Protein backbone atom coordinates (compact mmCIF):
# COMPACT_ATOMS: atom_id res chain seq x y z
CA UNK A 1 0.00 0.00 0.00
CA UNK A 2 1.29 3.40 -1.03
CA UNK A 3 1.09 5.91 1.81
CA UNK A 4 2.99 8.88 3.20
CA UNK A 5 4.77 8.86 6.54
CA UNK A 6 2.88 9.90 9.65
CA UNK A 7 4.66 13.22 9.98
CA UNK A 8 3.70 14.47 6.53
CA UNK A 9 0.21 13.02 6.91
CA UNK A 10 -0.31 14.90 10.16
CA UNK A 11 0.99 18.14 8.68
CA UNK A 12 -1.36 17.93 5.70
CA UNK A 13 -4.39 17.20 7.91
CA UNK A 14 -3.52 20.17 10.12
CA UNK A 15 -2.92 22.33 7.04
CA UNK A 16 -6.45 21.52 5.84
CA UNK A 17 -8.01 22.34 9.21
CA UNK A 18 -6.33 25.74 9.28
CA UNK A 19 -6.98 26.49 5.62
CA UNK A 20 -10.66 25.59 5.58
CA UNK A 21 -11.44 27.34 8.87
CA UNK A 22 -9.83 30.44 7.33
CA UNK A 23 -12.05 30.11 4.24
CA UNK A 24 -15.24 29.47 6.22
CA UNK A 25 -14.50 32.45 8.46
CA UNK A 26 -13.99 34.76 5.50
CA UNK A 27 -10.24 35.17 5.85
CA UNK A 28 -9.74 35.03 2.10
CA UNK A 29 -6.24 36.49 2.06
CA UNK A 30 -5.10 33.75 4.43
CA UNK A 31 -6.79 31.16 2.21
CA UNK A 32 -5.11 32.55 -0.93
CA UNK A 33 -1.81 32.36 0.94
CA UNK A 34 -2.17 28.59 1.28
CA UNK A 35 -1.44 28.31 -2.44
CA UNK A 36 1.97 28.65 -4.08
CA UNK A 37 2.60 32.04 -5.70
CA UNK A 38 1.62 30.54 -9.08
CA UNK A 39 -1.17 28.40 -7.60
CA UNK A 40 -4.28 27.37 -9.54
CA UNK A 41 -7.75 27.15 -7.98
CA UNK A 42 -10.80 25.90 -9.84
CA UNK A 43 -13.83 25.71 -7.59
CA UNK A 44 -16.48 25.68 -10.30
CA UNK A 45 -16.20 23.10 -13.09
CA UNK A 46 -16.39 24.49 -16.61
CA UNK A 47 -15.01 27.89 -15.65
CA UNK A 48 -11.49 29.22 -16.02
CA UNK A 49 -9.50 28.57 -12.86
CA UNK A 50 -8.09 31.46 -10.83
CA UNK A 51 -4.30 31.77 -11.04
CA UNK A 52 -1.73 33.25 -8.61
CA UNK A 53 -2.47 34.27 -5.04
CA UNK A 54 -3.69 37.69 -6.15
CA UNK A 55 -5.98 36.08 -8.72
CA UNK A 56 -7.36 33.60 -6.20
CA UNK A 57 -8.04 36.37 -3.70
CA UNK A 58 -9.82 38.47 -6.33
CA UNK A 59 -11.94 35.48 -7.33
CA UNK A 60 -12.93 34.76 -3.73
CA UNK A 61 -13.92 38.37 -3.10
CA UNK A 62 -16.01 38.37 -6.28
CA UNK A 63 -17.60 34.98 -5.53
CA UNK A 64 -18.57 36.00 -2.01
CA UNK A 65 -20.34 39.19 -3.05
CA UNK A 66 -23.47 37.10 -3.44
CA UNK A 67 -23.37 36.28 0.26
CA UNK A 68 -23.05 39.92 1.32
CA UNK A 69 -26.66 40.13 2.40
CA UNK A 70 -27.04 36.46 3.18
CA UNK A 71 -26.02 35.56 6.75
CA UNK A 72 -25.14 32.00 5.82
CA UNK A 73 -22.34 30.26 7.69
CA UNK A 74 -20.65 27.67 5.51
CA UNK A 75 -18.54 24.83 6.89
CA UNK A 76 -16.46 22.42 4.85
CA UNK A 77 -16.46 18.97 6.44
CA UNK A 78 -13.55 16.95 5.08
CA UNK A 79 -13.16 13.16 5.23
CA UNK A 80 -11.09 10.38 3.65
CA UNK A 81 -7.93 12.32 2.84
CA UNK A 82 -6.00 10.13 0.38
CA UNK A 83 -2.37 11.17 -0.16
CA UNK A 84 -0.36 9.79 -3.08
CA UNK A 85 3.25 10.83 -3.63
CA UNK A 86 4.00 11.64 -7.27
CA UNK A 87 7.18 11.07 -9.27
CA UNK A 88 7.84 14.83 -9.46
CA UNK A 89 7.97 15.19 -5.68
CA UNK A 90 4.49 16.63 -5.29
CA UNK A 91 1.68 14.85 -3.45
CA UNK A 92 -1.70 14.21 -4.98
CA UNK A 93 -4.47 14.57 -2.42
CA UNK A 94 -8.06 13.42 -2.99
CA UNK A 95 -10.54 14.41 -0.31
CA UNK A 96 -14.29 14.20 0.30
CA UNK A 97 -15.91 17.51 1.23
CA UNK A 98 -19.46 18.01 2.46
CA UNK A 99 -20.52 21.65 2.64
CA UNK A 100 -22.87 22.47 5.53
CA UNK A 101 -24.71 25.81 5.37
CA UNK A 102 -26.52 27.32 8.34
CA UNK A 103 -28.60 30.47 8.49
CA UNK A 104 -29.56 32.07 11.82
CA UNK A 105 -32.43 30.24 13.46
CA UNK A 106 -32.55 27.51 10.81
CA UNK A 107 -31.44 23.93 10.49
CA UNK A 108 -28.42 23.36 8.27
CA UNK A 109 -28.64 22.55 4.59
CA UNK A 110 -26.02 20.16 3.32
CA UNK A 111 -24.89 20.41 -0.26
CA UNK A 112 -23.03 19.77 -2.30
CA UNK A 113 -20.89 16.73 -1.70
CA UNK A 114 -17.60 17.29 -3.53
CA UNK A 115 -14.31 15.64 -4.25
CA UNK A 116 -11.37 18.00 -3.78
CA UNK A 117 -8.37 17.22 -5.99
CA UNK A 118 -5.22 18.91 -4.71
CA UNK A 119 -1.59 18.92 -5.75
CA UNK A 120 0.50 19.63 -2.65
CA UNK A 121 4.08 20.80 -2.36
CA UNK A 122 5.66 20.23 1.03
CA UNK A 123 9.14 20.79 2.35
CA UNK A 124 10.53 20.60 5.87
CA UNK A 125 8.63 23.65 7.04
CA UNK A 126 5.76 24.44 4.69
CA UNK A 127 2.74 22.84 3.07
CA UNK A 128 1.21 24.68 0.11
CA UNK A 129 -1.24 23.92 -2.66
CA UNK A 130 0.06 24.04 -6.20
CA UNK A 131 -3.45 23.47 -7.48
CA UNK A 132 -6.98 22.61 -6.36
CA UNK A 133 -9.77 21.38 -8.60
CA UNK A 134 -13.17 20.60 -7.13
CA UNK A 135 -15.56 18.02 -8.61
CA UNK A 136 -19.22 18.16 -7.60
CA UNK A 137 -21.13 14.91 -7.24
CA UNK A 138 -24.37 16.49 -8.48
CA UNK A 139 -22.68 17.64 -11.70
CA UNK A 140 -21.49 14.16 -12.64
CA UNK A 141 -23.06 12.63 -15.72
CA UNK A 142 -25.64 9.89 -15.16
CA UNK A 143 -25.22 6.27 -16.25
Residue 47 contacts a copy of itself per CB under 8 A: no
> Binding string, 109-138, against a copy of itself, x = CB under 8 A?
xxxxx-----------xxx---------xx
Looking at 81, 117, 121, 130, which residue binds a copy of itself (CB under 8 A)? 81
Alpha-carbon distance 127 to 103, whole Å?
33
Give the shortest CB-92-to-a copy of itself separation in angstroms. 12
- Phi then psi for 85, rounded to 5 degrees? -60, 140
Residues 22 and 34: beta-carbon distance below 8 Å: yes
H helix runs in the chain, sequence order: 6-24, 28-32, 52-63
Give the shortest CB-32-to-a copy of itself separation in angstroms. 15
Looking at 66, 89, 106, 124, which residue binds a copy of itself (CB under 8 A)? 106
- Phi then psi for 54, rounded to 5 degrees? -65, -40
Strand, helix or coil for residue 105:
coil
Residues 35 and 56: beta-carbon distance below 8 Å: yes
Task: Using the minimum distance from each CB to a copy of itself, give the nearer residue, 17 or 61.
Answer: 17
Task: Using the minimum distance from each CB to a copy of itself, give the nearer residue, 57 or 95.
Answer: 95
Alpha-carbon distance 81 to 78, whole Å?
8
Query: Where along the sequence are the contacts to a copy of itself (CB under 8 A)?
Result: 1, 3-7, 9-11, 13-18, 20-21, 68-71, 73, 75-83, 94, 96, 98, 100, 102-113, 125-127, 137-143
Amino acid sequence: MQAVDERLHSRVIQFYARQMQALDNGRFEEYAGTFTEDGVFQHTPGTEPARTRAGILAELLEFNKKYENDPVQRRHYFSQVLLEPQADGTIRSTVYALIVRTRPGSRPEMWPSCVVNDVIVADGTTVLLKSRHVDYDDLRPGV
